Amino acid sequence: MTAQPRRAIRVGLSLALPFVLVGAVLAVSTGPAAADSTDYEQEVDLTFPLDVGEDVVSCRADNRGCIDDFHQGRSGGRHHRATDLMVPHGTPVHAAVGGEVSWLTGTDGNPPSYGYMLRIRGDDGRTYAYIHLGRQDGPAYGGASEAAYADGIEQGTRVERGELIGYAGSSGNAHPDAPHLHFEIHQDGVDDPYAGEDGSPRINPYRSLVAAEERGDRPGGDTGASDDADESGGETESEADGASDAPEPPRLAGRERIATATAIAEEFWPNGADDVVLATARDHVDAVAGGPLAASLDAPLLLTDDDAVPDATREWLADADPERIWVLGGTKAINKDVAGRAAAAADASLERLGGADRYETAEEIAALVGDAADEIVVAPGHPAPGGDPVWPAALAAGALGASGDVPAPLLLTRHDELPWATIRAVTSLDPGTVRLVAEDDVLTSAVAGRFRDDREIIDVAGGDRYTLGASAAEAAGARGAGAGLLAATGADVPDAFAAGAAAARADARLVLVPPADLGEAPAVTGFVGTLAPTELWLVGGTSALAPEVGRELLQSID
């Protein structure tokens, strides 16, 4: 039989779509966009995070416990993407900016390999990480969490600029004789050439630390923050009062990403489930590829640390009593001990789906999802050299594959060629339709050209992550998804890990939104206004999605 020409269709939202530009009820910081820079060497307004004099540590002094070694090579092909401040054990650590504590490690006494770490989602929209905390020297992990974090510091806690948050040390894989604060600044959209190592672009903190020293901005001194709420971008008392009365969609949130996944499971699988999909919280690719699998099994997707089963996950497994746990990824992603402990918590059997790399893992998962949909979804698995992170595309693709009555497998590709694992999967599944999900110009024409001419190729595209996410959510309607909607932050990957499977369970769709101001994503506003969702949930706490975003989503429906 003569092969028919390939039918090429492009699906993408145009910014010309009608949308409601919602007037903010209160002033909300627009986040790092205000910096008007994507340079990883940009300067950030912050307070020097250590309460010691320049005689102890100084970045502007010549090599006094602080050097500019950002992007310096490390073992295993990694790069140092932080500034290390060498100080004695127990040196007080203070918040460089105000914000909300979004993540703490080791509160159960078992910190991961990098030790006690605290993350703060800053009021400026950036994320600040303080690593290797612990004021007791000697023990490999720097003592208990009480020795790492200041009193009252918990996930969800509001901290002010210059406030005491913890103590420097040598916890985790830091050398016990070299205590220091490993200080990171994460900003989405920064042109960090090594962002592909973990999917999170970072700013070099060194210049900002030098600037803080030069203006004398240290803990206990002048932080440089304005006392005038109106001028600094905060709400006035009357605005805050009015905002508190405005309705907000329900939230699916825990104290951190792992607890958020269990909160989602509790909401949509209140009576438990026969199957559970388990992915690492540290690598987005395994998790998003598992979205269609979870949908095909009618299973929640839960998360675990790489070296321990967190309390939230273990408790949900014990209560839900599943029969099978499907572990995504090889033993480097989730080791045998962690997988075994998860299975023991539920007295469940264990199945592992993992290949030599993310492409082979996606191939194994796709084989289990099967070919019933006669369709596959393909997304980039790695960014192009110097390119932006690809997790937003993978996340949107996973949710798209999970949508509708018959889930479609998610496969991964390099930006310029199909890996052999993906080629094998396509040959085996033999789909009639291929949906390529990526931001504009990320995938070269060579990728689409590798598919047979009789397959229908549909490009699901957008000029940025929010437009792409809205395009994928619109495409989910063509796959049979309902009019419900889950909204997750597009600034950071974790909270949306488990949302794709939940959207399928709720006959809903998943869309990515800005963390603080919906006006930054008119394509999303237009899509939501057109969809007029019958139900709406926010995924993640207020540090991930500001309350105003939920209110703006509701207003865009009116």
Taking only the tens place, the pLDDT of each residue in 516-529 is 889 999 999 999 99
Q: Is the pLDDT of residue 243 over 50?
A: no
Region 38-60: what's the mean pLDDT?
A: 85
By C-alpha distance, which of 167, 257, 161, 170 is closest to 212? 161
Residues 202, 134 within the same domain: yes
Specify whether the CB–CB gap between 490 and 393 falls below 8 A: no
Domain residues for the domain of 389 are 8-23+248-557
Instruction: Please tell me the predicted confidence (pLDDT) of residue 238.
Output: 33
Residues 402, 497 within the same domain: yes
Q: How far apart are CA 444 and CA 447, in angstroms?
A: 6
Q: How far apart are CA 32 and CA 517, in angstroms?
A: 12
Residues 16, 145 within the same domain: no
Domain end among 169, 194, 225 = 225
Residues 318, 384 within the same domain: yes
Specify whether the CB–CB gap between 136 and 176 falls below 8 A: no
φ/ψ of residue 336, rounded to 5 = -60, -40
Q: How far apart are CA 359 and CA 365, in angstroms?
A: 10
CB atoms within 10 A of CB 228: 8
pTM above 0.85, yes or no: no
Residues 325, 441 within the same domain: yes
Instruction: Please tell me the predicted confidence (pLDDT) of residue 483.
Output: 95
Instruction: Please tell me the predicted confidence (pLDDT) of residue 299.
Output: 97
Element (H, E) at 101: strand 99-104
Residue 97 DSSP label: S
Percentage of the chain beyond pLDDT 90 is: 50
Q: Is the pLDDT of residue 33 over 70?
A: no
Out of 24-38, 138-152, 488-502, pick the least confident: 24-38
Q: How far apart are CA 174 and CA 541, in angstroms?
A: 31
Q: Is the pLDDT of residue 209 over 80?
A: yes
Mean pLDDT, the chain, whole residue set: 83
Condensed to tens digits (0 to 9), the pLDDT of residues 314-330 reads 999 999 999 999 999 98
Q: Is the pLDDT of residue 404 over 70?
A: yes
Q: How far apart are CA 534 and CA 556, in angstroms?
A: 13
Specify whether the CB–CB gap between 159 and 94 falls below 8 A: no
Residues 155, 292 within the same domain: no
At 76, is the pLDDT very low, low, confident or very high (cuts 50, 70, 90)?
low
Query: Is 82 domain-assigned?
Result: yes
Instruction: Please tell me the predicted confidence (pLDDT) of residue 218.
Output: 86
Instruction: Please tell me the predicted confidence (pLDDT) of residue 241.
Output: 38
Residue 310: C-alpha distances to residues 107, 153, 316, 317 (Å): 10, 19, 10, 11
φ/ψ of residue 16, rounded to 5 = -80, -5
Residues 49, 17 within the same domain: no
Q: How far apart are CA 298 and CA 503, in angstroms?
A: 11
Task: Supply 316's token pair.
Answer: 């949900």
Specify whether the CB–CB gap between 54 and 213 falls below 8 A: yes
∠ CA 424-494-173, rounded to 5°: 95
Region 539-558: what's the mean pLDDT?
A: 86
Residues 295, 314 within the same domain: yes
Amino acid at position 199, single letter: G
Domain end among 162, 190, 225 = 225
Region 233-244: what's the mean pLDDT?
A: 37
Residues 73, 18 within the same domain: no
Residues 152, 194 within the same domain: yes
Burial class (CB in 10 A: 0-12, 13-18, 19+), 124: buried
CATH at 179: 2.70.70.10
Q: How far apart are CA 235 and CA 229, in angstroms?
A: 6
Out of 359-373, 412-426, 539-553, pick the least confident: 539-553
Please tell me which residue, 95 or 34, carries the higher pLDDT value: 95
Residues 82, 214 within the same domain: yes
In 306-419, alpha helices (H): 311-320, 336-346, 358-369, 391-402
Burial class (CB in 10 A: 0-12, 13-18, 19+), 177: exposed
Domain end among 173, 194, 225 = 225
Could you tell me how many residues make up the chain?
558
Query: Is 363 domain-assigned?
Result: yes
Condensed to tens digits (0 to 9), the pLDDT of residues 10-22 reads 444 433 333 232 3
Query: Is 369 domain-assigned?
Result: yes
At 63, is the pLDDT very low, low, confident or very high (cuts 50, 70, 90)?
low
Task: Supply 382's token pair.
Answer: 């790695």
Please tell me which residue, 65 or 45, carries the higher pLDDT value: 45
Q: Which residues contact 445 (CB under 8 A, 6 or more apart)?
A: none
By C-alpha distance, which of 51, 52, 55, 35 is closest to 162? 51
Pairing mode, if any, of strands 164-167 and 92-94?
antiparallel
User: Does the CA dihedral 265-269-270-274 come out positive or negative?
Assistant: negative
Q: Is the pLDDT of residue 488 over 70?
A: yes
